[in-house]
Structure 1
Amino acid sequence: MKKLFLFAAIAAFGITNLQAQDGVSFGAKGGVNFSTLTGDDVDDLDEDNARTSFHVGAIVEIPISDRFSVQPEILYSGQGIKFEDEDFLGQGTEAKIKLDYINVPVLAKFYLVEGFSIEAGPQFGFLVNDEFEIEDSNGDTIESEDLDAASFDLGAAVGLGYKFTNGLFLQGRYVFGLSNIDDSDEEGAFEDDLTNSTLQFSVGLQF
């Protein structure tokens, strides 16, 4: 099923490419993620618990009018959370929950003035890696195991962007999860509902 979803997302981009018309632009982007999880299981953790990772992928901007566009994207995105607990992990150790997705946001994009836009829309995420790791003070992995995370993640994105006349663009975006990252009926690593929460900063080029 996961492969089917991925194929459908890639095919959608291919169809858009074949049906491209005047004004449609394509591009590539990448940037940094600051991600965490929200829910009762993590509310008592230190505030500095964001996992720093990256995202990279492709975009298509389809103009509907002078000020309004639809922008689907396909991104590889590293998400999750990190935390330290000396009582549980030992001094100098750090734990990470790594949740990596192929994300497909489909955004409505409104230009307030030339170049400057606001954007919002749903995001569909397909899990490609889930892992719990414990690292020592040197950054070496001392324990690693797979998690029973949900294969599909539904979220919503809101953000701002600025596109220069040469096609270079900058984006800042917040993506909040709408579905539980654990949909298993069996008892796993997650006792309560947990959702993704990701702050993204991107740079890209449209052509």
Structure 2
Amino acid sequence: MKYTTTICSLFLFFSLLKSNAQSNVDFGIKGGLNLTFFKIQEAQFGDNIETEAGFYGGIFADFEIDETVSLQPELLYIQLNDFRFINAPIYAKFYLSDKLSFMAGPSLNYFFDFFTNKFKVRGDIATAYNITESIDIHMKFVVGFNEVAPNGLFFGVGYKF
């Protein structure tokens, strides 16, 4: 019930925001599956990659700069078992066609309960395919710059209001 109320509230908030915003700004929600890869050092056997599966969900805005470029900041909540963090990428979005786009940019991350240094900067690359004008499917890869910053692969669906 708590999640349904939150989602309905976000939907109403962004619908009202969109109706008052300029026509070159879109708002939306997104979510999906997250696979996070942790690099573990194992004695003399080399590196072992451990993978955890979880979910993510959040909001985004898309500020059109021209017909082929926009700026898309996002705010995502990510959970993998007991591991939780906030991911806030800021993408430069390039439209390769009316259906396909490529995104890249820095990703600001706050880890709630995993690291002593809870704030990390990572790099994101992503692609999205528009099924309709409002619905897209997307995939992104997040690269941690530190040994202890996990890398992640995201598969999801977005909805523009």
Q: For 1:159, give the aligned amino acid.
A: A
Backbone CA RMSD of aligned residues: 2.4
Q: Which amino acid aligns with 2:36?
A: S
The one of 99, 105, 117 aligned to 2:89: 105
Question: Equivalent residue for 2:129?
Answer: 162
SS in 2 for 1:54: strand
Q: Which has the higher strand share?
A: 2
SS in 2 for 1:129: coil
Q: Within 1, Cα distance between the matches of 2:113 and 2:107?
A: 18
Give how far 1:78 is off: 2.4
Q: Give, in angstroms, the shift of residue 165 of structure 1.
A: 3.1
The size of the alignment, in residue pairs, is 143
Q: Deviations over 1:118-150 (max 9, x none)?
A: 0000000012233xxxxxxxxxxxxxxxxx432
- Give how far 1:36 is off: 1.3
Give the equivalent residue in structure 1 for 2:54.
53
What code does the residue aligned with 2:26 have? Answer: S
TM-score (structure 2 length as normaliser): 0.79
| Cα distance in structure 2, aligned partners of 1:111 and 1:36 | 29
Question: What SS class does the counterpart of residue 117 from structure 2 fall into?
Answer: coil
Alignment-mate amino acid for residue 152 of structure 2: T
Structure 1 residues 70 and 39, CA gap change in structure 2 (3 angstroms): farther
> Deviations along 1:85-121, whole A, 9 cap, x unmatched?
xxxxxxxxxxx8x532111100011001112000000
Is contact 1:39-1:195 (8 Å) kept? no
In structure 2, relative to structure 1, the CA distance for the partners of 1:175 and 1:41 (3 Å cut) is farther
Please tell me whether Structure 1 or Structure 2 has the larger radius of gyration of its CA atoms: 1
Within 1, Cα distance between the matches of 2:47 and 2:144? 19
Counterpart position of 2:72: 71
Can you give the 5+ residue segments of structure 2 that lack an aligned partner in the other structure? 1-13
- Taking structure 1 as reference, are residues 41 and 76 closer, same or farther at Cα in structure 2, changes over 3 Å only? farther
Q: Structure 1: state its 5+ residue gaps.
A: 1-13, 80-95, 131-147, 181-192
Aligned AA for 1:150?
Answer: N
Rounded Cα–Cα distance in structure 2 between residues aligned with 1:68 and 1:165: 19
Would the aligned equivalents of 1:40 and 1:194 in 2 still touch at CA under 8 Å? no
Q: Structure 1 pair 110/41, CA: closer, same or farther in 2 (3 Å)?
A: farther
Q: Which amino acid aligns with 2:25?
A: V
3-state SS in 1 of match to 2:83:
strand
Aligned to 2:9: none
Aligned counterparts of 2:41 and 2:110: Cα–Cα separation in 1: 24
1:171 aligns with one of 135, 138, 142? 138
The residue correspondences of 1:75-94 to structure 2 (distance < 5 A) are 75-79=76-80
Percent of pairs with identical residues: 29
Q: Contact between 1:173 and 1:199, CA under 8 Å: does it hold in 2?
A: yes
